[in-house]
Structures are given as structure tokens and as C-alpha cells.
Amino acid sequence: MDKLYSLAFSTLLYGIAIAMKYTAWRHPAFRARLKEQNLVAQIRVKQLPTGRYYIIKDGRVSSRSGIHPNPDVVVAVKSARLGFQIFTHPNDQLGRINAAKSFSMTLDGPQDKAIWRPVVLMYCLSCLATASTSNCSAMGHRPSGEPSQA
């Protein structure tokens, strides 16, 4: 069963890369958001070679399977099963909080980059959920990365 969750988690991580690329292509506001920072973000299973890293450089997203030797931000989960559950239920904040409290999920890296990455990922999911480009643009993008007060 663990191998099945490992395969599902790896496929999910690949899908995140595709979703980010599509959203950047479809939504100018998201594309502008990606240009705010260059970073390498790693999502992985603790103590296993299962993971994927995402390179965000000059507003473009690329990803590779495996473990990056020196990522800026690392999200590590205790098991592929937990990672699959957390990333397939993005609205389950209680599950993420419990995983973080029990150190089953960790986020490591400089604070500005560690916070920016999940915000951009949630922004991507929100853009994908909207039916039009204008709805995504109206989400309050500012060059500083802070939401608008509107």
C-alpha cells in the first residue's frame, strides 16, 4: 500500500507543476506574481528519496523529479500517504495544523521565501478555480505581494 501512495504522491507533485505552468500561461496576474522571486522549492517525503523540486526563475516554472541538493524552501512530510492527503485536500487547514504540530510536516527555509511559496500555490489553485482571467486578476494582486484592501 505504501508503494501505491508513493506513486500517487509523485503523480500529484507532477500535477502541481503542470497546474502552475498552465495558470501562469492563462492568468497574467499569476504570471506577474511568479516574477516577484526566484527560488527552488522542494516537496519531499522525509527520509525517503521521493520528492519533486520546482524552479521558479524570472516568472517561469520548471520542475524535476528527485531531491535538489540545495533548495531554498523545503516542505517535508512524514509519509507519502500523509503528503497525498494534505495536498489533495487543500481546504483541510486542521489537518495541516495537526501535521505541523506533530512535526509530520515541516517547512524549512528563509521566512520570506518559505511563506511566499505556499501563498503562490494557493493563488494558483484559486486562479484555476475561477472561470475567467478577470476573476483571477481581481483577487488583489499587488507587486509587493500583499493583498489589496478592496
Please state the domain extents for the chain.
Answer: 2-137
The top-scoring range by mean pLDDT among 46-50, 66-70, 90-94, 105-109 is: 66-70
Is 100 or 135 the better-scoring residue by pLDDT? 100
Q: Is the predicted pLDDT of residue 9 greater than 50, yes or no?
A: yes
Contact indicator for 70, 40 with CB cutoff of 8 Å: yes
Q: Which of 36-50, 83-97, 131-145 has the lowest mean pLDDT?
A: 131-145
What average pLDDT does this structure show over 84-105?
73
Q: Tell me which DSSP letter residue 48 carries.
A: S
Average pLDDT across the chain, whole number: 77
The pLDDT of residue 63 is 92
- Per-residue confidence at 62, pLDDT binned at 50, 70, 90? very high
Helix (H), strand (E) counts: the chain: 6, 5
The pLDDT of residue 138 is 43
Contacts of residue 105, defined as CB under 8 A and 6 or more positions apart, other chains included, come to 75, 76, 77, 78, 82, 83, 86, 96, 99
Contact indicator for 73, 42 with CB cutoff of 8 Å: yes
The pLDDT of residue 101 is 72
Tell the CATH topology of 2-137. Answer: Nonspecific Lipid-transfer Protein; Chain A (3.30.1050)
Across 12-143, where does the E strand assignment appear? Answer: 39-45, 51-57, 60-65, 73-77, 105-108
Q: Which of 4-18, 55-69, 114-128 has the lowest mean pLDDT?
A: 114-128
Q: Is the predicted pLDDT of residue 64 greater than 90, yes or no?
A: yes
